[in-house]
A and B are shown apart, each in its own frame.
Chain A
Amino acid sequence: GAVVSQHPSWVICKSGTSVKIECRSLDFQATTMFWYRQFPKQSLMLMATSNEGSKATYEQGVEKDKFLINHASLTLSTLTVTSAHPEDSSFYICSARVYGALNTEAFFGQGTRLTVV
């Protein structure tokens, strides 16, 4: 159980276009999902916390108009990179917490490799 799926696993897009990444909890409900960004050979940096039915909370320095997050249901959160540029190329990973549980663990998706050319 507790599987989180991201789609797509990798995507290449042209500079100036927008890309949507999906994060789904397959076998549980997730009130809260988290989006992280990982540069090559570096750690994961939290970008935003996504709560179902409300606006996402962005970390300092993350452009909310650049990285649009929508959490429309208890099983799906999306991250849209708008007007992508080569510097947005990165590995994006989501995680999800189990709704209503005291479980301390958040489960991670397999990540999405974004390359902007």
Chain B
Amino acid sequence: AQSVTQLGSHVSVSEGALVLLRCNYSSSVPPYLFWYVQYPNQGLQLLLKYTSAATLVKGINGFEAEFKKSETSFHLTKPSAHMSDAAEYFCAVSERGSTLGRLYFGRGTQLTVWP
């Protein structure tokens, strides 16, 4: 079974500082991996995804993530935080094949950005 672990339920950074949100997955074969952002009382917006192409994936709003198979990790980074980045971030994994699109989510990381 798939599982996703997000280390740190809350991360606080200053505006302009590096953002690092951690995600580790558990799977017997490399799955598809996703990062989503959620603003209060809204659905999910896809930031980026890994689907076995380049291991360094660039997404929207300046975010990127690197798939490291040896570490079973898919950490999300942004070089310089902006106030508008404050939100809940979810890492998710999807199996390949017939259940494509069926996502298993981590518990989420609340990002706070201080001025």
Contact = CB atoms under 8 A, between A and B. Distances in A.
Contacts of B106: 43
B107 A43 contact: yes
A49 interface: yes
Contact of A111 (B34, B36, B41, B99): B41
Given A93-B43, A93-B44, A34 B103 contact: yes
Interface size class of B (residues with CB under 8 A): 20 to 34
A68 to B, nearest CB: 20
Contact of B101 (A42, A95, A109): A95
A105 interface: yes
A104 B49 contact: yes
Interface in B74-115: 90, 94, 99-108
A110 interface: yes
B46 interface: yes
A110 B45 CA distance: 9
A110 B46 CA distance: 13
A105 B90 contact: no
B44 A42 contact: no
Contacts of A111: 41-43
Contacts of A49: 99, 102
A104 B100 contact: yes
Interface of B: 32, 34, 36, 41-46, 49, 51, 90, 94, 99-108
16 contacts: A6-B43, A34-B103, A42-B108, A43-B107, A45-B105, A49-B102, A95-B101, A97-B100, A104-B51, A104-B100, A104-B101, A106-B94, A106-B103, A108-B43, A108-B44, A108-B45
